[in-house]
């Protein structure tokens, strides 16, 4: 799928967010400036959150609501070379069952959190983004984008 504007990326997030339920895990990958946080802002908007910002420096933010959103950015963890260890320290297994979890820079360390997940890659070439996804597990069979 080709995305030309930030508004379109936000809209894609809203489409995804409207289909989410407790326990869902989404992993986002793409270069800096690809639109990962804008996509999460759209997901957050669909869940009723208006103040979704990048947790790059705090690693994780929990937005509390009817369906909470756990927003994680593992960029700094990946730089450390100990991402799996530090990801365990966030204790995501405890809260994840009652929330939607979205992990930016969600690689193999994050994939082990669930056998069912949506993996989204954003490739940025000039101003256009190409978004691809892999729906892993039966939970995602009905996803409509």
Which token pair is 98?
């009652």
Tens of pLDDT, residue by residue over 20-77, are: 999 999 999 998 889 999 999 999 999 999 888 776 655 677 888 889 999 888 765 5
Cα-Cα-Cα-Cα torsion 49, 52, 58, 60, nearest 10 degrees, comes to 50
Whether the CB-CB separation of 87 and 110 falls below 8 Å is answered with yes
119 contact partners, CB below 8 Å, separation of at least 6: 26, 27, 29, 106, 111, 133, 134, 136
- Structure-token pair, residue 43: 């997901």
* Confidence (pTM): 0.85
Q: In CATH, what number does 2-136 get? A: 3.40.50.300
Q: What are the Cα distances from residue 124, in Å, to 8, 10, 96, 104, 118? A: 14, 15, 30, 15, 19
Residue found under tokens 């270069």: 31
Task: Kindly state the tokens that stand for 40.
Answer: 């999460």
> Per-residue pLDDT tens for 91-141?
555 577 889 999 987 776 677 678 899 999 999 877 789 999 999 999 998
């Amino acid at each position: 799928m080709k995305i030309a504007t930030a508004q379109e990326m936000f809209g894609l997030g809203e489409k995804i967010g409207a289909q989410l339920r407790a326990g869902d895990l989404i992993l986002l990958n793409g270069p800096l400036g690809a639109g990962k946080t804008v996509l999460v802002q759209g997901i957050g908007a669909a869940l009723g959150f208006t103040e979704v910002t990048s947790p790059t420096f705090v690693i994780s933010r929990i937005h509390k609501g009817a369906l909470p959103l756990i927003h994680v950015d593992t960029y700094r963890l990946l730089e450390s070379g100990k991402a799996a260890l530090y990801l365990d320290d966030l204790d995501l297994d405890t809260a994840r069952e009652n929330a939607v979890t979205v992990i930016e820079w969600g690689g193999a360390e994050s994939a082990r959190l669930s056998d069912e997940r949506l993996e989204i890659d954003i490739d940025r070439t000039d101003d256009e983004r190409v978004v691809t996804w892999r729906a892993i597990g039966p939970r995602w069979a009905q996803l409509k984008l």
